[in-house]
Amino acid sequence: MTKMTFKKETQAAPKTTIQTLFLSTIISVIISLTIATGAVYLYDQQYAQKVVAIDLKGFLQQQKDDYLAGKITEEDVDRRMDELEAFVDHIPKHHPVILGDVVVRNIEVLKP
Q: Report which DSSP code applies to 48.
A: S
| Sign of the dihedral through C-alpha 106, 96, 99, 55 | positive
Range list of β-strands (E), 1-112:
52-54, 97-99, 108-110
* Residues 80-100 pLDDT 10s: 999 999 999 999 888 999 998
Q: Where are the domains of the chain?
A: 13-48, 52-110
Q: What is the mean pLDDT of the chain?
A: 87
Angstrom distance (rounded) from CA 80 to CA 76: 6
Q: Report which DSSP code applies to 101.
A: G
What is the pLDDT averaged over residues 60-81? Answer: 92
The pTM of the full predicted model, rounded to 2 decimals, is 0.60
